[in-house]
Structure 1
Amino acid sequence: MDSVMASMKIVFALLTFITVGMIIGALLQLAFLRRLEESSGTGFPSFRRTLGSQNDAFLRLPGGVSHWANDKEAEVLRLGFVKPEIISWSPRIIVLHSFLSMEECDYLRAIAEPRLRVSTVVDTKTGKGIKSDVRTSSGMFLNSDERKYPIVQAIEKRIAVYSQIPAENGELIQVLRYEKDQFYLPHHDYFSDTFNLKRGGQRIATMLMYLSDNVEGGETYFPMAGTGECPCGGKTKKGMSVKPIKGDAVLFWSMGLDGQSDPKSIHGGCEVLTGEKWSATKWMRQRSTS
């Protein structure tokens, strides 16, 4: 019995020694990583710090060398800036913080402003755009020539990478302006007519990009997302909403993983209370739209 007790004491001592050693090793490793992050500038909260112009806005290594020095692909994709946040799995909704630069937002607004017209909705019988009281904004579409501009091409490529849908499956970008008291009642982006399915098939996803700041109201509202309540145009409603912040984008899917249209993807634009809400929308199809 004494020998058994002695053996157990030895085993217990060894286990204690190993456990203490592992804890000390983990603490030393954490301290090392913290020093590494502080020296490289890649740790939080410095991970997304501003480093000057967009061309220099990448994570830096010791000595001031850019982590993606001269990497045009990283510049186009805004690596180190874009921060995805999944807010709903059903329907599938992702907020992409800092998706656009401030210069890109202003650029799209400048192109659009002289050509804004009263917005329309799709007629389910003819597939053509008609005026409707459910949508009170003004807007315009970039044309095929503007789609070839370098800044627009960069935005289109970024959309394709983050959505994993080829750029050629996307429709032309639409820019919208919502003024005070304007709104868009809840609706689906997928088509319920056959006319619009002929070119590119069904809409499967939408990228909604915010181009202006200092807006009260104007949230993007998903009444069938989540189980709580959210603000919408100064009111509290059931569902989930996203505040329009300049540079942010909302990516959501109109089709589920089963390939069927998702009724839960219904969404709307809440009433603008003060300021102007500018946004740019990119709808993506099942096939090429060209």
Structure 2
Amino acid sequence: MDSGALPLRRLSTSPRIYLQEGFASEDEIRHVLARAERDALVAAGLDVTEDATGMACEIPVEGDPVLAALAARIEAILTFACALPGPSFRFRRYARGDAHPPHVDTYTIAGAQLVATALVYLTDAEEGGETYFPHASPEPIALAPRRGQLAIWFNHAPDGRVDRSSEHESKELTAGEKATITYFVYAPLEAAKARLLPDDPEPPQASGVPARTLFCVNDHVPEETTRLLREACEARGVGYVEIDASTFDFIDTEPLPPGAMLFRPAISVAGIRAEQVLWAPGVATFYREPDGILRNIGPTPLIYERAGLPVPRWIWGNTTSRDTLRRYVEWLGGLPIIMKFLGSSRGIGVLRIDTLPGLFSTMDHALSSGYSPLLMSYVPDATHWRVIVVGDRVAGFYRNRTEEDDFRTYASEDPDDYRTPPSPEILATAIRAVEVQEVELGGVDILEHPSGRHYLLEVNFPCYFASARLVGGHDVAGAMIDWLVKKAERLAG
């Protein structure tokens, strides 16, 4: 079936990209295109999605001799097999105007990494639709879709680290149609040492020191957050693997091995659950207790208050009684007061209540909707500090600002807000608050009154730290990786 295939060619060593013309025969292409018709996919009970990246569907290899033959030939070229028990091809059909944004294929399933990607083109696009590698060396590579052509690239370097130069995208299809099938080859990282051609460079010799790898749980995390973590890992020779919580496999994924490092910048429930499944004894995290990752202790003033930390006067909003709410307001020091719904970030769910009618109506709605908000004294004319603690030290800080006509604060783009640290007392409170929260990382929010008194609001874990680096130059991500590496070494003895 593949007698018309031309020899495999290497297009680049950074990333490692290979191309073979005529890999799939006309009979194989016709079979795949017929099976991938929408009606056929739906009749087979397969899920079909459609968005700006085209129509897509996972087609199992099992039970399809043609797909099985294609998979076997791909694995023969790679010299290693896909480790997943039920591999599939991802069929994708692009219409005019469809494209796929830049990304790196870095995922983990059942403890195996997505080491290599194999893409088979089923059509000739008239115009556009190129698979584009902007960071390929010595120059960018653009692969125009050619019917029957196979492109293979490695997502990991031979030493197992994620190869960021493998970032790629599908350019917008401007004329014709583009259809592909992709075989994602999951395997142990050792497979990244494979040499597909005799003149491929020899993989580097192992140093005898086990490589450290950070497993980062992502779920709509800001791009700059993961980029800074990845760059910090690369600067320290640490591997970086991204876990997509939205597609996490809760059946086949095994816990991480001892010595691995795990961090979840995602704040979603899916991210928390994926993190808990990935953790195992010996895995380094930012939780102080060995099993702290299995607990979900949110920030509450009671924790800090019991530890002797300064917090604004507060009380739970647990009633709609007008008389009781009037007493609460008087006890809190009078209007205005702050009403806060826990569980959100970036100021969402924090309300300033200036009138009793506003308080009454908002509490009616909150309690009828199943929420019990926090009521807190309002601290006027205060400076809002964000102090980022890593381990037992301050790794970054900045002064937040307020928008006009808003009491809530935000991180500014003015470097001056990141230069002068808050008082030593505020820094000490921040470090102690993170310790009380039983974590080793936290974005601590503190209000400083003009009188010099300060009040702890909360510890955000995880926390957004990118602006501290991008504007203020505080290398928070570097401090995080350094802390996890040392912790992993301690856990490994």
Structure-1 separation of matches of 2:55 and 2:124: 18
Larger radius of gyration: 2
**1:85 and 1:94 in contact (8 A); partners too:** yes
Task: Map residues 228-239 of structure 1 onto 2, 5 A cutoff.
Answer: 228=139, 239=140
Is residue 2:12 matched to residue 1:88?
yes
Whichever structure has more helix as a proportion of its residues is 1
- Name which of structure 1's ranges 243-252 and 213-222 shifts more when overlaid on structure 2: 213-222
Tell me the equivalent position of 2:187: 286
Task: Using the TM superposition, give the Cα deviation of residue 190 of structure 1 relative to its aligned residue in structure 2, in angstroms.
Answer: 0.7
Structure 2: gaps (5+ residues): 42-46, 189-251, 254-493
How far residue 174 of structure 1 moved from its aligned partner, in angstroms, is 0.7
Rounded Cα–Cα distance in structure 1 between residues aligned with 2:4 and 2:95: 33
Q: What are the equivalent positions in structure 2 for 1:1-290 lying under 5 Å apart?
A: 75=1, 78-79=2-3, 81-114=5-38, 115=41, 117-119=48-50, 135-143=52-60, 146-169=61-84, 171-191=87-107, 197-228=108-139, 239-287=140-188
Measure how far apart 1:82 and its partner are.
3.3
Regions of 4+ moved over 6 Å: none
- What is the DSSP-based 3-state SS (H/G/I as helix, E as strand, rest coil) of the residue aligned with 2:112? coil
Q: Is the 8 A contact 1:85 1:97 kept in 2?
A: no
Q: Provide the rounded CA distance (Å) in 2 between the counterparts of 1:149 and 1:181.
A: 31
Alpha-carbon offset, residue 148 of structure 1: 2.6
CA–CA separation in structure 2 for the residues paired with 1:85 and 1:220? 16
SS of the residue corresponding to residue 154 of structure 1 reads helix
User: Matched residues in 1 for 2:78 and 2:92: separation?
Assistant: 21
Give 3-state SS (helix, strand or coil) of 2:184's partner.
strand
CA distance in 2, matches of 1:183, 1:275: 13
Aligned CA distance change for structure 1 residues 198 and 218 (closer, same or farther; 3 Å): closer
CA contact (8 A) 2:5 2:24 kept: no
What's the offset of the Cα at 1:79? 4.5
Retained in 2: the 8 A contact 1:204–1:284?
yes
Give the partner amino acid of 2:92: L
1:84-135 alpha-carbon deviations (Å, 9 max, x no partner): 111100100001111101121121111112237335xxxxxxxxxxx7xxx5
Give distance in 2, aligned partners of 1:84 and 1:157.
16
Q: Is the 8 A contact 1:225 1:264 kept in 2?
A: yes
- Partner SS, residue 83 of structure 1: coil
TM-score normalised to structure 2 length:
0.35
Instruction: Note if contact 2:132-2:141 (Cα within 8 Å) is conserved in structure 1.
Output: yes
Encode CA deviations 1:236-277: one digit per residue, 9 max, x unaligned: xxx211010000010000000111111111001000011110
Measure, in 2, the Cα distance between the counterparts of 1:204 and 1:107.
Answer: 28
1:80 to 1:275, Cα distance in 2 relative to 1, 3 A: closer
2:18/2:152 contact within 8 Å kept: yes
Distance 2:31 2:111 in 1: 28
The alignment partner of 2:110 has SS state of coil
Check 1:79–1:179 CA distance in 2 against 1; reply closer, same or farther (3 A cut). Answer: same
The sequence identity of aligned pairs, in percent, is 29
TM-score by length of 1: 0.58
Q: Helix, strand or coil: the match of 1:156?
A: helix
CA–CA distance in structure 1, aligned partners of residues 31 and 23 of structure 2: 14
Note closer, same or farther for the CA distance 1:164–1:139 as it changes in structure 2 (3 Å cut).
same
Gaps in structure 1 of 5+ consecutive residues: 1-74, 120-130, 192-196, 229-238
Q: What is the distance in 2 between the residues matched to 1:103 and 1:200? A: 36
Higher relative contact order (CA 8 A, sep 6+): 1
Q: Is the 8 A contact 2:75 2:81 kept in 1?
A: yes
What amino acid sits opposite 2:58 in the alignment? Answer: F
Q: 2-side partners of 1:112 and 1:284: how far apart?
A: 21
Count of paired positions: 183
Matched to 1:174, the amino acid is: R
SS in 2 for 1:260: coil
Secondary structure of 1:87's counterpart equals: strand
TM superposition shift of 1:198: 4.4
Distance in 1, matches of 2:159 and 2:55, equals 35
CA 1:118–1:198 in 2, change beyond 3 Å: closer, same or farther? closer
Q: Distance in 2 between matches of 1:88 and 1:178?
A: 26
CA distance in 2 between counterparts of 1:223 and 1:208 reads 17
Q: For the residues of structure 2 that align with 1:258 and 1:284, how far apart are their CA atoms? A: 17
